[in-house]
Amino acid sequence: MALRLPRIGTSQVAALVLILAANWMVSPQFFDIRMQDGRLFGSLIDVLNRGAPVALLSLGMVLVIAMRGIDLSVGAVMAICGAIAASLADSHSLPVVLAAALGAGLACGLWNGLLVAVLGIQPIVATLILMVAGRGIAQLITEGRIVTFTSPELAFLGSGSVLGLPTPVVLTLGMLALTLLVVRGTALGLMIEATGGNPRASALAGVGTRVITVAVYMWSGLCAALAGIVAAADILGADANNAGLWLELDAILAVVIGGTSLFGGRFSVILAVVGALIIQAMNTGILLSGFPPETNLVVKALVVLAVLLAQSPRLGGFLAGLGVLFGRRP
Amino acid sequence: MTRSLNRLMPVFATTAVFLAGFVLCSLAYPNFASLRVVMNLLTDNAFLGIVAVGMTFVIISGGIDLSVGSVIGFTTVFLALAIERWGVPPLAAFAIILIICAAFGAAMGAVIQYFELPPFIVTLAGMFLARGVSFLMSTESIPVDAALYSHLSDYAIRLSGGARLTVPAMIMLAVVGAGMVLLHLTRFGANVYALGGSRTATALMGINVARTTVLIYTLSSVLAGLSGIVFSLYTSSGYSLSAVGVELDAIAAVVIGGTLLSGGYGFVFGSFLGVLIQGLIQTYISFDGTLSSWWAKIATGLLLFAFIAFQQITLYMARRSRLRPAGVAQGVLQP
């Protein structure tokens, strides 16, 4: 059978376990979880909770990348939707607030999707437009201020808890289940992989590549909107300048760590979320170990490089070449 | 003749937008149309102009370099530490940092070339690395008060009307001129265009693709380092958070300047105009005083969209007029 079987992601899970173990060595109470006021507390829960926005973004990003696209605008979309949610929160009911913010996310995704699928613009450029302009739009909504709100319903989405788990974690799990259901429960995932592998051949084979492309970018916009709402609800306000800043890079990183090929054609939704957790576990670990938080970026750079080299088709040849160089037969 | 004119269309469009923008600004504010404003435009955007020249080479070759902003930040921190803490003479520090940047760019180019990885993600790692290292070196802003710095920032060619052609502006103009010569008149420049057209065809033509790729990223990083030197002269300090997001401004300037992001086509002069247009928007906003800075981002986004849409339409028209005869020939050939 020529079809590549879905990988089980042993290396990603092993990396996550390794990092968690390292965190445990640095801080022995890392795995301690206690129940307080009907909500679980502990470093591990904290990793899940802090990792939720990037995990949400990666749920959209993984599908975009599987189609050989990229969505640079997710950080800016987060800022826009957070700004909308925060400025409506105290004057409108929760359903209206959510509908407006999620609708804005879908509209942003639609814009990106149309540019890519209909105008045929390269994804990196098409989404760059919204990445540059989006933060300006968000500031236009907040009028350059940091908009704060007091609505307890919206705040619940950021800092509340359901069955003891923080709401962002529950939301992420829900979105993960929904994504898996839609993508792997139907033929849609296969069509996305086909489009990423060879858009022309897929179109000739009868796959509606245009519609799928637009839909996937809209999904990414929706995920970014949800992440923006969670981020705004968490701090009871929207900061158009800093909400979601550089998170698009973390989301891409999470997807790449999750083993999804940047050349399109195969993806794993669950491993992308594991990738997001690996990033967050590293962040938390560096904080716990007392290293300066500045180390974070260097560590991230080295991880990206290691993952990329491991994915590279040329690495095998390179190692063989080294073997020859040092007088060993490959 | 008409073909070469057609080739230059995007640059003409950019020039027209810049001139129209300048005339509009001058009509709104009579003080705008002065040599002084133009010279300030050059000085304030000098570091962006230098980076945009390097980015033009990278984008024409079909790549992208996201690390330039971080390299600028790293350069300013390194210079401040070297001059203030380690007592290195400024000129020696300039030479050292340019060598470090060259090595950094060459390493990224080599990884892109030999491991066949997308430039986007490799330079993203470079961006994290350069920013992270500058954070590790220092998180606070370090003032530089070397004699050479005040000397260089005081030095300027005085023009009429109180206008000054400053050292950063002179460096940028020199880089733009040298970039034009390098891209349009040398074999290296021709190779850059060829790479953007088709890597495989370029390799088959016998051009050393590996060497050209490594050189392109080396050039981009060296120019980012030079831009960092100018930035450090301009601000007289080193700060690890300086020039965040400059890579996006540079890419935007290159696109507004008419360079195709898919590679193979573009002009250094267009990128220079793209930088000036972005500067013009900023200057207009500061002249107006009531407009907020976020309008600059929205205006840049709109301009980006307009130019990309314009490119797509031109490409589409070109493809249609080329496809028709090709289709006929195919019909003849088929049995």
Kindly tell me if the per-residue pLDDT of A150 is higher than 80. yes
pTM: 0.84
Cβ neighbours for A264, distance < 8 A, ≥ 6 positions apart: A65, A66, A67, A68, A69, A193, A195, A196, A197
pLDDT band at A320 (very low <50, low <70, confident <90, very high): low
pLDDT of residue A92: 87
pLDDT of residue B330: 41
Kindly tell me if the per-residue pLDDT of A231 is higher than 80. yes
Q: Each residue of A64-103: pLDDT tens digit?
A: 999 888 999 999 999 999 999 999 988 888 999 999 999 9
pLDDT of residue B333: 37
Lowest mean pLDDT among A5-14, B55-64, B262-271: A5-14
Q: What is the mean pLDDT of residues A306-323?
A: 65
Q: Each residue of B16-53: pLDDT tens digit?
A: 888 988 898 888 888 888 888 888 899 999 999 999 99
**Can you tell me the distance from the alpha carbon of B304 to that of B330, in angstroms, rounded to the nearest whole number?**
38
Instruction: Look up residue A267 and give its two tokens.
Output: 């993806």
**Can you tell me the distance from the alpha carbon of B318 to that of B313, in angstroms, rounded to the nearest whole number?**
9
Q: Confirm if B61 and B198 have CB atoms less than 8 A apart.
A: no
Give the burial string for B209-232 (b: 16+ CB within 10 Å, else e).
beebbbbbbbbbbbbbbbbbbbbb
SS3 A238: strand
> Taking the CA of residue A252 as centre, how many other CA atoms within 13 Å lie in the half-sphere pointing to its CB?
23
CA nearest A305 in B: which residue? B125
pLDDT of residue B335: 35
B128/A256 CB distance under 8 A = no
Residue given tokens 């950063």 in the structure block: B168
pLDDT of residue A2: 38
A322-326, B317-321, B331-335, range with greatest mean pLDDT? B317-321
Task: Tell me, yes or no, if B261 comes closer than 8 A to chain A by beta carbon.
Answer: yes
Of A135, A240, A308, the CB nearest to B117: A308
CA distance A42 to chain B (A): 28
Instruction: Look up residue B241 and give its two tokens.
Output: 């958070």
Task: Tell me, yes or no, if B298 comes closer than 8 A to chain A by beta carbon.
Answer: yes
Q: Each residue of A24-65: pLDDT tens digit?
A: 888 888 787 877 777 778 888 888 988 999 999 999 999 999
**Can you tell me the distance from the alpha carbon of A18 to that of A277, in angstroms, rounded to the nearest whole number?**
12
pLDDT of residue A5: 43
pLDDT band at A316 (very low <50, low <70, confident <90, very high): low
Q: B237-238 and A39-41 as β-strands: parallel, antiparallel, unpaired?
A: unpaired
Task: Tell me, yes or no, if A319 comes closer than 8 A to chain B by beta carbon.
Answer: no
**Can you tell me the distance from the alpha carbon of A249 to that of A61, in angstroms, rounded to the nearest whole number?**
10
Residue given tokens 């000739």 in the structure block: A204
**Can you tell me the distance from the alpha carbon of B126 to that of B135, in angstroms, rounded to the nearest whole number?**
14
Instruction: Look up residue A279 and give its two tokens.
Output: 């990033």
Task: Tell me, yes or no, if A2 comes closer than 8 A to chain B by beta carbon.
Answer: no
Residue type, A254: A
Determine which helix (DSSP H) or strand (DSSP E) holds B143, and give its type and residue range: strand B142-143
Q: Each residue of B197-235: pLDDT tens digit?
A: 888 888 888 889 999 999 999 999 999 999 999 999 888
Task: Tell me, yes or no, if B300 comes closer than 8 A to chain A by beta carbon.
Answer: yes
Kindly tell me if the per-residue pLDDT of B102 is higher than 50. yes
| Beta-bridge partner residues of B238 | B142
Kindly tell me if the per-residue pLDDT of A293 is higher than 90. no
Of A121, A294, A302, the CB nearest to B312: A121
Q: Each residue of B294-329: pLDDT tens digit?
A: 788 888 888 888 888 887 787 777 777 765 554 444
CA nearest A314 in B: which residue? B115
Cβ neighbours for B32, distance < 8 A, ≥ 6 positions apart: B22, B25, B26, B283, B287
Of A121, A144, A262, the CB nearest to B294: A144
B125/A304 CB distance under 8 A = yes
The ipTM (two decimal places) reads: 0.77
Higher pLDDT, B172 or B318: B172
pLDDT of residue B326: 47
Domain ranges of chain A: 38-290
Kindly tell me if the per-residue pLDDT of A146 is higher than 90. no
SS3 B13: helix
Q: What is the mean pLDDT of residues B237-264?
A: 85
pLDDT band at A170 (very low <50, low <70, confident <90, very high): very high
Residue percentage of chain A with pLDDT more than 70: 91
**Can you tell me the distance from the alpha carbon of B131 to that of B136, in angstroms, rounded to the nearest whole number?**
9
Q: Confirm if A138 and A245 have CB atoms less than 8 A apart.
A: no
pLDDT band at B5 (very low <50, low <70, confident <90, very high): low
Angle ∠(A107,A111,A113) on CA atoms, nearest 5: 110
CA–chain centroid gap for A34, Å, is 28
> What does the mean pLDDT of chain A come to?
84
Mutation pick from B249, B259, B305, B311 vs chain A, by most beta carbons of A within 10 Å, is B305
Q: Considering only the top CATH level, what class is A38-290?
A: mainly alpha
